[in-house]
Protein backbone atom coordinates (compact mmCIF):
# COMPACT_ATOMS: atom_id res chain seq x y z
CA UNK A 1 0.00 0.00 0.00
CA UNK A 2 2.69 2.47 0.98
CA UNK A 3 4.24 1.99 -2.43
CA UNK A 4 1.06 3.17 -4.11
CA UNK A 5 0.89 6.37 -2.05
CA UNK A 6 4.51 7.03 -2.79
CA UNK A 7 3.76 6.70 -6.51
CA UNK A 8 0.93 9.27 -6.23
CA UNK A 9 3.30 11.64 -4.51
CA UNK A 10 5.76 11.31 -7.35
CA UNK A 11 3.00 11.84 -9.90
CA UNK A 12 1.81 15.05 -8.17
CA UNK A 13 5.34 16.32 -7.96
CA UNK A 14 5.83 15.60 -11.65
CA UNK A 15 2.71 17.50 -12.63
CA UNK A 16 3.69 20.57 -10.69
CA UNK A 17 1.05 22.14 -8.52
CA UNK A 18 -1.97 19.89 -8.24
CA UNK A 19 -5.30 21.48 -8.98
CA UNK A 20 -6.74 22.64 -5.69
CA UNK A 21 -10.49 22.88 -5.59
CA UNK A 22 -11.47 26.24 -4.11
CA UNK A 23 -13.07 26.05 -0.72
CA UNK A 24 -16.67 27.20 -0.85
CA UNK A 25 -17.14 30.18 1.47
CA UNK A 26 -19.72 29.43 4.09
CA UNK A 27 -22.85 31.43 3.38
CA UNK A 28 -23.85 32.64 6.80
CA UNK A 29 -25.78 35.82 6.05
CA UNK A 30 -29.03 35.34 4.16
CA UNK A 31 -30.07 38.27 2.00
CA UNK A 32 -33.39 38.63 3.79
CA UNK A 33 -33.76 38.20 7.50
CA UNK A 34 -36.71 36.07 8.53
CA UNK A 35 -37.42 38.09 11.62
CA UNK A 36 -37.30 41.77 12.30
CA UNK A 37 -35.26 43.15 15.12
CA UNK A 38 -36.90 44.78 18.11
CA UNK A 39 -35.96 48.30 17.02
CA UNK A 40 -37.96 48.45 13.82
CA UNK A 41 -40.89 50.84 13.50
CA UNK A 42 -44.21 48.97 13.69
CA UNK A 43 -46.00 49.13 10.36
CA UNK A 44 -42.80 49.71 8.40
CA UNK A 45 -41.35 47.49 5.70
CA UNK A 46 -38.79 46.19 8.16
CA UNK A 47 -41.51 45.22 10.61
CA UNK A 48 -42.21 41.87 9.02
CA UNK A 49 -42.02 38.25 10.09
CA UNK A 50 -40.82 36.37 7.05
CA UNK A 51 -41.56 33.08 8.71
CA UNK A 52 -45.24 33.72 9.39
CA UNK A 53 -45.94 36.42 6.79
CA UNK A 54 -47.39 38.93 9.23
CA UNK A 55 -46.00 42.12 10.72
CA UNK A 56 -43.42 41.12 13.29
CA UNK A 57 -44.97 43.52 15.79
CA UNK A 58 -48.23 41.53 15.47
CA UNK A 59 -46.76 38.05 15.20
CA UNK A 60 -48.22 36.08 18.09
CA UNK A 61 -46.26 33.03 17.00
CA UNK A 62 -43.00 34.85 17.62
CA UNK A 63 -44.17 36.96 20.52
CA UNK A 64 -46.58 35.12 22.77
CA UNK A 65 -47.15 38.18 24.93
CA UNK A 66 -49.25 39.66 22.11
CA UNK A 67 -51.85 36.91 22.37
CA UNK A 68 -53.67 38.42 25.34
CA UNK A 69 -54.21 41.71 23.51
CA UNK A 70 -55.71 39.97 20.49
CA UNK A 71 -57.92 37.82 22.69
CA UNK A 72 -59.09 40.91 24.57
CA UNK A 73 -60.41 42.41 21.33
CA UNK A 74 -62.02 39.12 20.30
CA UNK A 75 -59.60 38.81 17.40
CA UNK A 76 -58.55 35.26 18.07
CA UNK A 77 -58.96 31.91 16.38
CA UNK A 78 -58.93 29.28 19.11
CA UNK A 79 -58.78 26.50 16.57
CA UNK A 80 -55.55 27.59 14.92
CA UNK A 81 -53.93 29.57 17.69
CA UNK A 82 -53.52 32.78 15.71
CA UNK A 83 -55.47 36.04 15.55
CA UNK A 84 -58.55 35.62 13.38
CA UNK A 85 -57.32 38.57 11.34
CA UNK A 86 -54.18 36.55 10.58
CA UNK A 87 -55.78 33.13 10.21
CA UNK A 88 -55.28 32.05 6.63
CA UNK A 89 -56.77 28.67 7.39
CA UNK A 90 -60.15 30.20 8.25
CA UNK A 91 -59.81 32.98 5.69
CA UNK A 92 -58.14 31.56 2.58
CA UNK A 93 -58.63 34.86 0.80
CA UNK A 94 -56.82 36.75 3.53
CA UNK A 95 -53.95 38.78 2.22
CA UNK A 96 -51.59 40.50 4.59
CA UNK A 97 -49.42 42.77 2.53
CA UNK A 98 -45.98 43.71 3.58
CA UNK A 99 -45.68 47.50 3.73
CA UNK A 100 -43.53 48.90 0.93
CA UNK A 101 -40.05 50.09 1.64
CA UNK A 102 -39.95 53.69 2.68
CA UNK A 103 -38.22 55.78 0.03
CA UNK A 104 -35.74 58.19 1.49
ZN1 LIG B 1 -43.36 35.08 13.32
ZN1 LIG C 1 -58.49 29.70 12.14
Q: Minimum-distance ligand to the CA of 62?
A: 1
Residue 104 and residue 87: Cα distance in Å, rounded? 33
What does the pLDDT profile of the chain (104 residues) look like in tens digits? Answer: 566 666 666 665 666 666 767 776 665 544 467 899 878 999 999 999 999 999 999 999 999 999 999 999 999 999 999 999 999 999 999 999 999 998 77
Q: Please give the backbone phi and psi of residue 11, each rounded to the nearest 5 degrees, phi first.
A: -65, -45
The neighbourhood of ligand 1, an ion, using CB within 5 A, equals 49, 51-52, 59, 61-62
At residue 104, the pLDDT reads: 79
Ligand nearest to the CA of 49: 1
Phi, psi dihedral angles at 71 (to 5 degrees) = -65, -35
Structure confidence at residue 63 (pLDDT): 95
Closest by CA position to 34, among listed 52, 59, 51, 58? 51
Is there a contact between 72 and 60 (Cβ–Cβ < 8 Å)?
A: no
Query: Ligand 2 centroid to 90 CA: how many Å?
Result: 4
Candidates 49, 16, 19, 52; CA nearest to 32 is 49
| Ligand number nearest to the C-alpha of 56 | 1
Distance 89 CA to ligand 2 centre (A): 5
**Cα 77 from Cα 52, distance rounded (Å):** 16
How far, in Å, from the CA of 53 to the mean position of ligand 2? 15
- The closest ligand to the CA of 83 turns out to be 2
Amino acid sequence: MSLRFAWIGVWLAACGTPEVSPVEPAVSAPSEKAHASAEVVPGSHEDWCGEHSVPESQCTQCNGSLIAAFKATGDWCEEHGVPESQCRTCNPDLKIERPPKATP
